[in-house]
Structure 1
Amino acid sequence: MSYQLNINNTPAKPFNSFKSAPKVKKGYMNYRYHNSEAVETHTKVKALAGSVLGAGISAAIVAKTQKVKLSNPLNLFKLKYGVKELIAVSSLSIIGGVIGGMIGSNKKKEKMDEGVFQFMNATVPLLFVHPVTKFLENSKSLKDNKIARIVGIAASLLVGMKGAAVLSNFINDPNDKVPDRKLTMKDAVANIDDALGALAIAKVPFADKVEKIIPLIFVWCGYRAGQSN
């Protein structure tokens, strides 16, 4: 059997074309925990612009349904956010961010996948928290028990986030060909609205005021999806 020789007349390594184990591990961990590669500034700008536009459109729709005039921009802080409003704002913000980030990009699949992840992470926990909150409010024994309500909301929030991750990974990769996208601390930002609800129950000062910045939270989610690579 003959081997290819290099200039030093020594056998060439047959596996030179394969990535080293550390590189493979790094790529695996980057994908799993969403450690982004360097993103071009113009991609960040387009993702942010698209997300802001999506949030603006959704806020205008919510304002119209609530008969709030946006001729005064400060009226944005008068909008009330229920389940339908939160889903509308989150979905349009994320769609806008993904579309903006996809313009001129060769990472469209990655952005679509992250958009699915961000949308699920923003909405599925809400669908868990809302019925639990309603149950606690209608329970005579638990209605005035702040600790029980906070624990109930926190538990349903965590279950919802885990469920959102499992569901989005299945949608993006039904045949399980790539490592699952795992939740990170940054992903928890999308659920600040639910966390603020728990703080409001506990009578934490300013919790209800901070809730007014919910559109900005979803702009962040849309931006993350649009600049994902």
Structure 2
Amino acid sequence: MAKNKKRKNTKTNKAPMKFLVIVTALLVVVMAALLFVVNSNGGSNSASTHEDRPPIDDLATYGNDDPAVSIVEFGDYKCPACGTWDREVFDQLESDYLDHEDISFSFVNFIGFQNESLIASLASQKIYHEASEDQFWDFHHALMQAAGVQGSQVDIDFVVDIASEHAPDVDEDELRTSITEQEYMDELYAEHELIEEFGVERTPTIFVNDVEVSDPFDYNEIERIIEEQLEENS
């Protein structure tokens, strides 16, 4: 009797083992199929082309308003990676390309860190409309590189302090009122629609004309796409 009971337990132990083998095999097949699909579509490391380029008519733009090649950053002032991109990649872009009459750079506000991002973007829009172009871009870069620093707290005092140094033509009290009353909220809503239209989900996201750069920190890729677009559109 004892031997028969032992053989019965062995059979019941084999059943879940067989089930696990089958499930594992199915998972392997599914993963292989997914890998095939990703590879056949070029993978996530290749630049993707959209139907059109992001329109820049209503955006803060550095350079020609009607360029052959438009570089557009979807960025968040509070995003640490955006601060790094601004410091490391934009400086190189400016040195290599932004004096070119056929190339421009534009910025789209992405509100990813709730109220801190919103305050920064509202301040930026006020500076864009009230200050000179040079003062706006000085403010933009200073805010971008300061707001995302670990431990920073972006409030109205924070952005006003930066504006007082980099955009002194803008009255501080008017800036505070503009932020509090959300004077340029309609423009931020319009930029949010642009974000949704182009399916932007992370920051920074960089477009060169209608081409979305796969790795915004790969300067060689950005440079290659710019040169290709210049050749096609100049």
TM-score (normalised: structure 2):
0.24
Structure whose residues are more often strand by fraction: 2
Flag the structure with larger Rg.
2
TM-score (normalised: structure 1):
0.24
Structure whose residues are more often helix by fraction: 1
